[in-house]
Structure 1
Amino acid sequence: MLTFCPTGPATSVEDVPLSPSSATACAVIAASAPARVRDTLAAQPDGAVAVVHRGSQAVYVEVQGHCLGVVAATATAVPCALQVAGDVVPRAARAEIRGGVLHLDDVALRIGRIRDVRVPRLPGVPADGPAPLSHAEVAALVGVGDGLTPYGDDVLCGWLGAHRAAGIATPDVDHAVRALAHRTTLLSATLLDCAVRGEVLAEFAAWLRSLGTAREPAAAATLASIGHTSGLGLLRGARRALTALGIRAEVAA
């Protein structure tokens, strides 16, 4: 479960001259983002988008039925978000897209560095098929829990991310997750879609890379510390999948 703090003032904003493509913009902030977020914004027509969640460290908007975020450097960098420097994000009484650039009020968020959110591949996976997970089990998890990312969804994201890392397709579970996505929050549904695509948190990727090494306990503890229960849910789902696939993972976080 992820939660956010009350809205606070934005900092680290650089004043720049106005350009024809951003006639009302008074400032620009550099941001990093996954390639798919960049491409999604670039494909959108100019116009307003709805702000669905706002806080001092994270703002989320709706773009064509999906949630795109703007998060501070101190916040969890979910794989559907732009990330900016500093510990706060701009205020967001309104949001719009102009020329493929997301604006929060009159602050333009220009994407420079691309963040790689692809799950790392795990070598030597013994299994050649997915771990068992029935439609009924998926239905018992989607949307179950509190906050913007319910715990049940986090478990599913971990399960899916582990399978993408193992290079094993899960078409039945993918279909069930997408069919039931309306039962959860927009942000969590978007993160489930990211997991189906093999897009994950950096902390989750780091934990997968650490499996079987001396770094594993520390990486697991870092992942477990995310949100109130999000990291724990990711670990639970991933460990369930990895165990069924014949891959050992430490149980203690």
Structure 2
Amino acid sequence: MPVPCGLRSRLPALALGTAAVHGGILHLDDEPVVVRRLVDTRVPARSPLPRTGLRPVPGLPAEVTPGAVAGLVGRGEGLTPLGDDVLCGWLALHRSAGVATPEVDAAVLAHLHRTTLLSAELLRCALRGEVVPQFAALVTALGTAAEPAARAALTAVGHTSGTAMVHGAALALSALHTEGVAA
């Protein structure tokens, strides 16, 4: 079920006076909270994953393993470093396939302090199987005629983020096919 407005916090409580619904509209301290759009952040379930044209990007990390995570988290520039985006794609595709990755997950969590706050949260989202809409569209399109357009839409996200997520997904597909988990 899509969440119309989400807020994650580690605070024990938010400093709000009142929260109430009036006429179907949420009000926080008498201020209306306006929802502009709904976005389903879940990665679509795809098991088995089909064979696709998705291929790793030359020059980017060649694999994701628990030992490789330390070299990926925080690697690159920007709000979401390239290495983190690779991990997001890899993690999310494993979630889509229903394949647990406890060793990689633990390594990612252990190294979150090495990246930006935004990127650390995106990695946590990927660990929960939450993705940007363009990634969800790519997963849905895998193995279909719509795959190239979905891949292009994802690679258009950010400066390198989309390309790195595609790369991570391609690495995951390759690993899952090798392990016999994907079709």
TM superposition score category, shorter chain reference: 0.7 to 0.9
Q: Aligned partner of 1:233: which letter?
A: A
Question: Which of 77, 81, 94 matches 1:163?
Answer: 94
Q: Aligned partner of 2:66: which letter?
A: H
Q: Aligned partner of 1:144: which letter?
A: R
Aligned 1:217-228 pairs, distance under 5 A:
217-228=148-159
| 2-structure distance, mates of 1:182, 1:148 | 14
Kindly tell me: are residues 102 and 168 of structure 1, through their superposed partners in 2, closer, same or farther at Cα, counting changes over 3 Å?
farther
| Larger RCO, structure (CA 8 Å, separation 6 or more) | 2
SS at match of 2:162: helix
Is residue 2:117 matched to residue 1:117? no
Return the structure number with greater strand share.
Answer: 1
| 2-structure distance, mates of 1:45, 1:111 | 22
- The TM-score normalised by the length of structure 2 is 0.75
Is residue 2:174 matched to residue 1:243? yes
Per-residue CA deviation, residues 80-132 of structure 1 (Å, 9 max, x unaligned), is xxxxxxxxxxxxxxxxx5546898xxx76444865311110112259xxxxx7
| 2-structure distance, mates of 1:155, 1:98 | 41
- The TM-score normalised by the length of structure 1 is 0.55
Q: Which residue of 1 aligns with 2:13?
A: 45
Once structures 1 and 2 are overlaid, which stretch shifts more, 113-122 or 157-166?
113-122
Work out whether residues 81 and 119 of structure 2, in 8 Å CA contact, stay in contact via their aligned partners in 1.
yes
| 1-structure distance, mates of 2:18, 2:36 | 15
Per-residue CA deviation, residues 144-190 of structure 1 (Å, 9 max, x unaligned), is 01111000000000000000000001111111101100000000000
Per-residue CA deviation, residues 58-98 of structure 1 (Å, 9 max, x unaligned), is xxxxxxxxxxxxxxxxxxxxxxxxxxxxxxxxxxxxxxx55
SS at match of 1:135: coil
Unaligned runs of 5+ in 2: 20-25, 51-62
Give the aligned CA root-mean-square deviation in angstroms: 2.9
Q: Aligned partner of 2:42: which letter?
A: R
Q: Which residue of 2 aligns with 1:173?
A: 104
Question: Which of 109, 117, 133 matches 1:186?
Answer: 117
C-alpha displacement of 1:134: 2.7
Is residue 2:3 matched to residue 1:34? yes
Q: Which residue of 1 aligns with 2:53?
A: none
Q: Which residue of 2 aligns with 1:143?
A: 74
Is residue 2:164 matched to residue 1:233? yes
Aligned residues: 158
Q: Which residue of 2 aligns with 1:133?
A: 64
Q: Which residue of 1 aligns with 2:146?
A: 215
Work out whether residues 4 and 37 of structure 2, in 8 Å CA contact, stay in contact via their aligned partners in 1.
no
Kindly tell me: are residues 230 and 140 of structure 1, through their superposed partners in 2, closer, same or farther at Cα, counting changes over 3 Å?
same
Work out whether residues 119 and 205 of structure 1, in 8 Å CA contact, stay in contact via their aligned partners in 2.
yes
Unaligned runs of 5+ in 1: 1-32, 48-96, 127-131, 249-253
Kindly tell me: are residues 36 and 140 of structure 1, through their superposed partners in 2, closer, same or farther at Cα, counting changes over 3 Å?
farther
Work out whether residues 45 and 98 of structure 1, in 8 Å CA contact, stay in contact via their aligned partners in 2.
no
Return the structure number with greater helix share.
Answer: 2
Kindly tell me: are residues 203 and 125 of structure 1, through their superposed partners in 2, closer, same or farther at Cα, counting changes over 3 Å?
closer
